[in-house]
Amino acid sequence: MSSQKLVSNFLVHVLLCLLILGTTEGEGLKDDFYKKTCPKAEDIVKKVTGQHISRAPSLAPALLRMHFHDCFVRGCDGSVLLNSTSTTQSEKTAAPNLTLRGFQVIDAIKSKLEETCSGVVSCADIIALAARDAVVKIGGPSWDVPTGRRDGRVSLASEALSNIPPPVFNITQLKTSFSSKGLNVKDLVVLSGAHTIGVAHCPAFTNRLYNFTGKGDSDPSMDPNYVAALKKKCKPNDNTTIVEMDPGSSKIFDIGYYVMVRKRRGLFQSDAALLKDNFTASYVVTAGDEAKFFKDFKVSMVKMGKIGVLTGADGEIRKKCALVN
């Protein structure tokens, strides 16, 4: 084969690879996607989100978590919003999603958008925009949210169970989970920083307090003083009590989470796991510059928001976010 033909074949291969990468990294999304079809769309999302966060600031971490859970199952397609049907159990019913909150915010935004420009703005875009606006409302960073996502028509509880990384994952499992979504180790440690806001229910971490290895012991990787403090709040079989993930600053988007983790006070096993990898441990230990964390967080959120998106003629624009058309 001639060298010219080899070069030609190589270039074709490179172009095909670039096309594939483009599709998996959000091809079809763009800034101001609704500029002509619904010019006030992003302003409406920001206004309605802000109104809800002002009344209930705890909805900010809830909306951010909803975005994460949506993107990790079938991509950022709004499938987390769908109700179950007579034949299938939706993602909402899966164990990781039973404590999701903020659906009323998404519905309120959708209702307002339908009044303004019916059938134009997707529920998937609403989740992505609302998560960003909620974080900004409580003092966190802003990031670009290119739009143009379309809504998926399938939502399965089984897929939520198999795709959302649980709080008991070790570092190897976490890296595998994030890698499967096109996210790297830096994205893993940076996005974990979202635990700086919000709360968790006791069952998400009580295994670390009472019976870690089946011998009635506690997780030795957790600060014993923190274990004692948590035991006062969470008794065995307590399914209702909530605990701050970043005690003292759980309503402020800052670097407090990394301070807690390096003190061996990360609430989840998945938090403690960050100290088991050279790269993630280094990031945790050296995290002291809030501006740098904000910058990194913005980059990783943009990447996450492009996971497996539906664009163009794929999917649909739901009229009601909990129901397929």
Catalytic positions: 69
Best CA proximity match to 289, nearest among 255, 240, 260: 255
pLDDT mean over 96-112: 97
> Which residues does 248 contact at the CB level (< 8 Å), separation at least 6?
256
Q: One-letter amino acid identity for 34?
A: Y
Closest CA to 93 of 322, 302, 293: 322
C-alpha pair distances (Å), 251 with each of 53, 60, 98, 99: 11, 9, 22, 18
For 22-45, how does the pLDDT look when each residue is reduced to its tens digit (9 = 90+)? 444 577 899 999 999 999 999 999
Distance between CA atoms of 322 and 81, rounded to whole angstroms? 5
Question: Could you give the CA distance from residue 68 to residue 58 in angstroms, rounded to a whole number?
Answer: 16
pTM, to two decimals: 0.90
Average pLDDT over residues 116-137: 98
Residues 142-184: tens digit of each pLDDT:
999 999 999 999 999 999 999 999 999 999 999 999 999 999 9
Residue 62 to residues 11, 98, 174, 251, 323, Cα–Cα distance (Å) = 46, 12, 21, 12, 21
The whole-number pLDDT of residue 22 equals: 40
Alpha-carbon dihedral sign for residues 16, 20, 23, 26? negative
